[in-house]
Structure formats: structure tokens, C-alpha cells
Amino acid sequence: MPLTPAEIGTVAFRRPPAGTQGYHQDEVDAFLADVAGEMRRLERENRALSEQLTPHDLAERVRRLQLEYLDVQEHIAMLEGELERWRRPVDTRMLELAQRTADEHLAEARQQAGTVLDQATTKAAQLISEAQLRASTIVADARHAHAEAVAGLEAKRAAALDEINELRAEVERLRAALAADMRERLAEFTG
């Protein structure tokens, strides 16, 4: 009868009849015979499996064990490094903690500076846009005023030319009158 470790752990022997001590010897003997038989069977099975193993299987197992050994060695080295780090003086650990804290604050300050710079850039772009709009409005108003002034100058020029022409005509009339008056006086004087 095949036995498992769990079955061996759950076997319970009846109490002996009243007035006697221990377990029923027949039951204990039968159980031990079963355990011995199972152990012999397992021994035969182990022998058969060992004979089936080839040198290649053994080499593969050795290789796996070597890899496991290297992993364990690596883990040990890591643990030794961690232990050594904790063995260092407290000042060194405090310095490392202060450095980490400073690095964190510096990173946070850089992030805030970036945010402020982005906001300032946006505000500057907005102010430039508003200034350009005002400048274009001022230029348009100045051009309009210039056009009106130029148009007004044309009218003033025309008025001034008319006045000049009138003054020339007046000068010519006065010259003619003066020339006539001088001729008359010359005629009276010579005459």
C-alpha cells in the first residue's frame, strides 16, 4: 500500500483496552510493516531513477547549481554592501540624506522656475501682441491724419495760389496805374 508523509502523520491507533497501557501491538506492527514496504519501494524507485540519469543530465544539474551559486554570491555581495552602508558613520548617512533632500528641492525649484518662465513668456507674448495692436492703431491714425493734412494742404495750396494770382493781378493793376500816373505827371512836368 503506497504511503504519503501526510498519511503517516494522520494514522491514529486505538487506545488499548481498559486496564492496559500503550497501543495495540498488532496494529502498530502492521503499520510499521506498511511503512517499511513503502520505504523499500521508494528505495528501488530512487535506484532506478539514478540509473536513468545520464552524464548530460548531471552536467545540466551541475550547471544549474553553479548558476544558483552565482546568484546567491551576487545576493550576498549586495547584502554585504547594504550592511557596509549601514555601518558607515551617521554623519555620512546624514550627508547622503541632506544631499537627496537638496536634490529634491533643487528639482522642485527647477520645475517651479520652468512654470514661472512659461507664465512670463505667455504674458510677454500677450503684452507684445497688445503693443503691436496699439502700434498698428497709432500708425493707422497717423496715416489718416497725414492723409487729411495732405488733403488740407492741397486745398490751402490752391487757395494760396489763388491769392498769389490775385496779388499778381493787383500788382499788375497797381503797376499799370502807377505807370499811368507817372506818365501823366511826366507829361505835366514836360509839358
pLDDT digits (tens, 9 = 90+) for 118-165: 888 888 888 888 888 888 888 888 888 888 888 888 888 888 899 999
Which residues in 120-132 are b (16+ Cβ under 10 Å) and which e?
eeeeeeeeeeeee
Judge whether 14 and 27 are in contact, CB under 8 Å.
yes
pLDDT digits (tens, 9 = 90+) for 40-78: 888 888 888 777 766 676 677 778 888 888 888 888 888
d(CA 143, CA 78): 80
Is the per-residue pLDDT at 22 higher than 80?
no
With bands split at pLDDT 50, 70 and 90, how would you rate the model's confidence at 86? low
pLDDT at 87: 65
CB neighbours of residue 23 within 10 Å:
15
Place of cell 544558483: 68
Is the per-residue pLDDT at 172 higher than 80?
yes
pTM of the model: 0.33
Mean pLDDT of 10-21: 73
Domain boundaries along the sequence of the chain:
5-93
Q: Could you tell me what percent of the chain has a pLDDT over 70?
A: 86
Which residues in 45-55 are b (16+ Cβ under 10 Å) and which e?
eeeeeeeeeee
Residue partners of 27: CB distance under 8 A and separation at least 6:
13, 14
pLDDT digits (tens, 9 = 90+) for 149-158: 888 888 888 8
pLDDT at 9: 66
d(CA 8, CA 28): 12
